Amino acid sequence: MMKNLLRPLFRRGLLLAMLGLAQQVAAQTTVTGKVTFSEDGSTLPGVSVILKGTTTGTSTGADGTYSLTVPDRNGSLVFSFIGYLSQEVSLGGRATVDVSMAPDVQALNEVVVVGYGSQLKKEITGAVQTISSRELKDIPVSQVTQKLQGRLAGVQINQTTGKPGQGMSVRIRGQLSVSAGSDPLYVVDGFPITGSIGALNPDEIEDITILKDAASTSLYGSRAANGVVLINTKKGKPGQTNVSFNTFVGLQQVP
């Protein structure tokens, strides 16, 4: 008796589930279109096409066309491609949406960080050594090179004069030259500089990286024959304002 009662209920439930699935499938629709370059009308393959607010998306093929299944035609599509301005286009009930994308001039003109300043340390295969500002903070000296003295393997830093404000001799891996200079190349915030870094305030330094071998210095060419000293200075950060004051007095002599 119980089985006879359950069978009609099961059939009705199955029928309702199938009807709901059919309605859901029927509610979905397909949007197609083509993405082209605004300047010459050429097609753009690999453009990302995403339904705004969802993870539903696709990309254009080799001929610049795309096909995307969406729940309805009332949403918006977001078109994005590296080097081009992203676009958000409302469907407005349309089944075909063609887009013409313009290049992002600002992105193309941005300054690109070169060298090893932004590369992960685990990916570096050359002889590279880095020291952070935390390690240099409590050393009571006035020059950057004095703070590095005795802290980096393969880097010889010696004082050559007792005159105040004079720079120090820096030799990476003992490289010397008879006819040319032996000083390393100093790069501050991505810009190579000439001369000494004695005038640079040590408290403004975020970290210092020493490039020692040919593999790590190859990017800088012949100027890096004696090694490279990369210096990144501190920059403004959002949050609470911090003010620090340091002062000390000392006597320095060269025997």
The pLDDT score that the predictor gives to residue 112 is 37
> What is the SS3 string spanning the chain?
CHHHHHHHHHHHHHHHHHHHHHHHHHHCEEEEEEEEECCCCCECCCCEEEECCCCCEEECCCCCEEEEEECCCCCEEEEECCCECCEEEECCCCCECCEEECECHHHHCCCCCCCCCCCCHHHCCCCEEEEEHHHHCCCCCCCHHHHHCCCCCCEEEECCCCCCCCCCEEEECCCCCCCCCCCCEEEECCEEECCCCCCCCHHHEEEEEEECCHHHHHHHHHHHCCCEEEEEECCCCCCCCCCCCCCCCCCCCCC
Establish if 4 belongs to a structural domain: no
DSSP helix/strand/coil, 216: helix
Task: Let me know if residue 2 belongs to a domain.
Answer: no
Same-domain check for residues 44 and 69: yes
User: What is the pLDDT, as a whole number, of residue 151?
Assistant: 75
pLDDT average per 10 residues of sequence, the chain (255 residues): 52 58 58 90 90 88 91 88 87 90 66 44 60 74 76 77 70 61 79 76 80 72 79 81 74 65
Name the residue with tokens 């309702």. 16
Amino acid of residue 185: L
Per the domain annotation, does 8 fall within a domain?
Answer: no
228 and 135 in a single domain? The answer is yes
For the chain, how many residues are written? 255
Same-domain check for residues 43 and 86: yes
Q: Is residue 223 part of a domain?
A: yes
- Residue 161 within a domain: yes
Q: Do 82 and 149 belong together in one domain?
A: no
Residues 145 and 225 in one domain: yes
| All residues at 6 or more sequence positions from 88 whose CB lies less than 8 Å from its CB, including other chains | 52, 76, 77, 78, 79
Residues 200, 96 share a domain: no
Find the domain containing 80 and state its range.
20-105
Last residue of a domain, one of 73, 105, 137: 105
Q: Which of 31, 29, 89 is nearest to 60 (CA)?
A: 31
Instruction: Classify residue 253: in a domain, yes or no.
Output: no
CA atoms within 13 A on the CB side of 155: 28
Instruction: Supply the CATH number for residue 40's domain.
Output: 2.60.40.1120
Q: Does some domain include residue 251?
A: no
Q: CB–CB of 144/198 below 8 Å?
A: yes
Give the tokens for residue 118.
């932004």
- 130 and 222 assigned to the same domain: yes
90 vs 14, 44, 56, CA distance in Å?
Answer: 38, 20, 15
Give how many domains the chain has, as a whole number: 2
